Structure 1
């Protein structure tokens, strides 16, 4: 037995059979590090082998209404752990993240804070390194990490904030704004390696501009339902 808090890793997924195995493989480090945990896949109605792959890896399946905000919310509500780690299905945690997480959750003051990882992409070309560096700068200066950087938060604190909102977009921004700038901490030595697929499909510069336009619209009060129409 161990006195380490139990961790629930919540992963929203929708037809993620291509990326999910790598995401789950990286989580095996928790077992080797002796970090008690459970993995919950909040599935939004996948028609591929996502659910089968998740079950094969020993994950629990949470059936949710399609939409990342709804899936994150359903996964968080089903979680049994004292701490929650929200992670995207196309993201791989790199570095000694179990030790970093154990260190964070050992701090009593962190029960009223949240932590996130440094962003990197699975494409090492200069354009993607620059985008990732800008995301790190945005996170530090504005305290505005996005969902693809993972989020570690104590369960009761998360629920006191109202949980992830069932939004079609900006559910991550809405939550970190409620957490507040002073209560967001960068996990040392941890990198969230995220797929650059959307940037490759739409063009890196175009995607960056679109992201900032959507974020600006949200801050100006445009409903996420309207913003989602411009964010394929």
Structure 2
């Protein structure tokens, strides 16, 4: 069964929608939902604590740290890391378990945005391709718990790009699959910065990493652009 791990920071608007969606979309194969809070100052903690099917876990801030913290207490055989603004397909838990039974110990769903824009629609089509250049955290990530611990979990040096970094190690293990169902994720960063500015930022981060930029350099560049 699945342990769902959701890292959050000030997600009072998104978290209730996701928790409701999970209750409707699940095939009943969820062992637990762990919400790992990196120090929210809004009502996120109260929402999680008041939900009868959620285990609330405080943590230091940083998605890599938060996801490792959640994984450290997870009881399920499969870990499913999910962003608070990403909504997996109907019976996502059954789809993940079926993939693992077929020998695929890690993977994600193909992804579409909740914004109808031709470029974002095109980017969604690329997520069908099982290649590392088409991956990202908004597609969610499932991984068998033993494999997660074998590769050392998330690299906590990364405050951004942490999903891509662990996925790279999973591709090296030749364990990664893309389930041919759609997860829908929010385009809120694209709405905030603009489609082209956001896409340019992601391309810059990708190539900086390819050229050997450190985790701290990626973090500095990302937040300088996002908070400009």
When normalised by structure 1's length, the TM-score is 0.88
The gaps in structure 2 that reach 5 residues or longer are none
Alignment of 1:1-232 (within 5 A): 6-29=1-24, 33-57=27-51, 58-107=53-102, 109-110=103-104, 113-134=105-126, 136=127, 139-142=129-132, 144-166=134-156, 167-180=158-171, 182-189=174-181, 191-231=182-222, 232=226
- Whole-Å separation in 1 of the counterparts to 2:88 and 2:165: 23
Q: How well do the aligned residues superpose, as a CA RMSD in angstroms?
A: 1.7
- Whole-Å separation in 2 of the counterparts to 1:142 and 1:208: 17
- Whole-Å separation in 2 of the counterparts to 1:85 and 1:67: 17
- Whole-Å separation in 1 of the counterparts to 2:96 and 2:137: 17
- Whole-Å separation in 2 of the counterparts to 1:11 and 1:210: 24
Question: What is the CA distance between 1:144 and its match in structure 2?
Answer: 4.6
Contact 1:119 / 1:194 at 8 angstroms: preserved in 2? yes
- Whole-Å separation in 1 of the counterparts to 2:160 and 2:132: 19
- Whole-Å separation in 1 of the counterparts to 2:120 and 2:216: 28
Question: What is the CA distance between 1:63 and its match in structure 2?
Answer: 1.2
- Whole-Å separation in 1 of the counterparts to 2:38 and 2:56: 10
- Whole-Å separation in 2 of the counterparts to 1:130 and 1:98: 27
Task: Assess, with a 3 A threshold, how the Cα gap between structure 1 residues 81 and 90 changes in structure 2: closer, same or farther.
Answer: same
Question: What is the CA distance between 1:121 and its match in structure 2?
Answer: 1.0
- Whole-Å separation in 1 of the counterparts to 2:49 and 2:139: 25
Residue-pair matches, total: 220
The gaps in structure 1 that reach 5 residues or longer are 1-5
State which drifts further: 194-203 or 21-30. 21-30
